[in-house]
Structure 1
């Protein structure tokens, strides 16, 4: 294949060859006219005499014979280990005493699916759910997040002190100076649009059916304010989502549930929870639970309007929602 700075395209080669073969130009004159070497002009003229117009096409640079290519028997062993154990090139190479790059080339040559595309327990290729427009499907889930005692938790003070605090809190039921229990949990209720990855999330006190239903009413109103209507909602099989209150809160919206023990089906919201844990909940050492809770709205705004998303080619979720306010704040 010709590169971007090549002086001759297929059309240029044909013109060069015809000048030499049909018009009788000397090789040196033709080479000077088309700004190539004499040997290049001779090569294309020779191919034109032999093959005509078809000889001007690019030829494969692959060698006719590869004496050092990995033996077929070794390739079969690599494929067998990959299919049965679902290992990567490094582990397969260590087992078969091969370099990982050799294993990678064999796997690529035979078009085997990448490990990140596979469901490890079954070996099946993951079928990813893609929505064509905003509101076609919204993923909903809850994440339980431990509260931080005043002064910092075990990440700041160390595990020994954190362990002693945990035992003291269980026995005494102390409260912080802000009136909140030292121990306990926040419940992060999240609704994320599958097409745009736009997320609505709240820190709530529990995951009861009344809380989940009220959260969805606020989330649905927020999505409507963003300019689109939710048509389907996907949740797991938690009791709050199987309740009549949550069903009544959905109204005419279609409710879909994941298969039991298959959190991958609700993977978009699960991945969002992992992102917020890395970039907000445990991104730095907070001295109190109040400080961390105050930071969450700012982080969520940055996620929706400014932070690039790899699934959206580096653009923020707001870029997929037409005329969304707050994108440039």
Structure 2
């Protein structure tokens, strides 16, 4: 494999082949390039056998691994990991396998991180991402208790005699574009059909202003407003969009907006103590601006969502 002191890079190998093809002796070309004759002949032989592809670096992985852990033992390691959520230090003594070997097995099967598995079933979560902005939009509602004037228990403590029962709830409606992670949220007093339908219309207008001109599909959970609401279906028809429901009790399917809800709580709703419900509501718009235009996203190689809206064909690795 190439390294910073390598005598031959891919460009150098091409130069070697060109000089030899021009009729010069291999030994002379090798001496000029500071390599041995066997090395020069090796790359010439690969070029004759495979053409341009033969000049690229090959994987250092061996063709055979006679001492690899038997498949039956690997299956037992995976079973313990998925059923009991044990780590290498626990699985190793049970099966009589070194913990380092157990870790390599888990990496090989994509089980080395518990966050990559569905915790109840142990199955590996299949990540997906749509090809372009607007192809799929996730929508969900997060219910938050209202804050009394003067602040709640986060300001005064739970024993300060400030009961918050009867304050009611705010319903934060959120829409997240599957490809770009661009997000839009509104606070409403309920999650009725008319409210959800109006939110969808305004969310589509917001996405259009950002450059997402058409929403093809909308993914929601199985709330009554999304399943039976006539106003919701009419809003979908106005956008020429198709409504899709998640499987019952499978929030992972709607995972992008579920993850956004968690960010919403950490970086807005619970980010600091608020003195009133109005103060918290007023902080939502600045948070959304930061999230869409400035906050880095690990799935976008550290770029904010608006970057992917403007460059939908760019590869993020």
Question: Where on the TM-score scale, by shorter chain, does this alignment land: which range?
Answer: 0.7 to 0.9
**Alignment equivalent of 2:162, drawn from 161, 165, 175:** 165
5+ residue gaps, structure 2: 47-53, 312-317
Kept after mapping to 2: 8 A contact 1:213/1:249:
yes
Once the two structures are superposed, the pairs formed by residues 1-329 of structure 1 within 5 Å of their partners are: 1-8=1-8, 11=13, 34-35=33-34, 41=36, 53=45, 72=70, 77-93=76-92, 100-109=99-108, 115-161=114-160, 164-166=161-163, 169-170=164-165, 183-227=167-211, 228-241=213-226, 242-251=228-237, 252-322=240-310
1:133 is displaced (CA, Å) by 1.6
Q: Quick check: 2:103–2:112 contact (8 Å CA) kept in 1?
A: no
Q: Distance in 2 between matches of 1:42 and 1:237?
A: 70
Which structure has the greater CA radius of gyration?
Answer: 1
Q: Quote the residue 1:180 is aligned against.
A: none
Judged with a 3 Å threshold, the aligned counterparts in structure 2 of structure 1 residues 208 and 117 are, in CA distance, closer, same or farther, namely same
Give the secondary structure class of the aligned counterpart of 1:321: helix
How many aligned positions are there? Answer: 292
Q: CA deviation at 1:265?
A: 1.2
In 2: Cα distance, 1:119 partner to 1:307 partner? 27
* C-alpha separation in 2, matches of 1:121 and 1:210: 35
Structure 1, unaligned runs of 5 or more: 174-182, 324-329
- Kindly report structure 1 stretches of 4+ aligned residues shifted beyond 6 Å: 22-25, 29-32, 56-67
In 1, distance between residues paired with 2:63 and 2:182? 53
SS at match of 1:283: coil
1:222-274: CA deviation from partner (whole Å, max 9, x where unpaired): 22333311121111111222311211222232111111111111111111110
Give distance in 2, aligned partners of 1:65 and 1:319: 44
TM-score with structure 1 setting the length? 0.72
1:326 maps to which residue?
Answer: none
SS in 2 for 1:221: helix
Aligned alpha-carbon RMSD (Å): 3.9
Equivalent residues of 2:26, 2:37 under 8 A apart: no
Query: Would you say the 8 A contact 1:113–1:125 is kept in 2?
Result: no
- The 2-side partners of 1:309 and 1:235 are apart by 23
Distance 1:109 1:322 in 2: 36
Counterpart of 1:160 in 2: which secondary structure? Answer: coil
Q: Aligned partners of 2:152, 2:100: CA distance in 1, in Å?
A: 44
CA contact (8 A) 2:82 2:121 kept: no
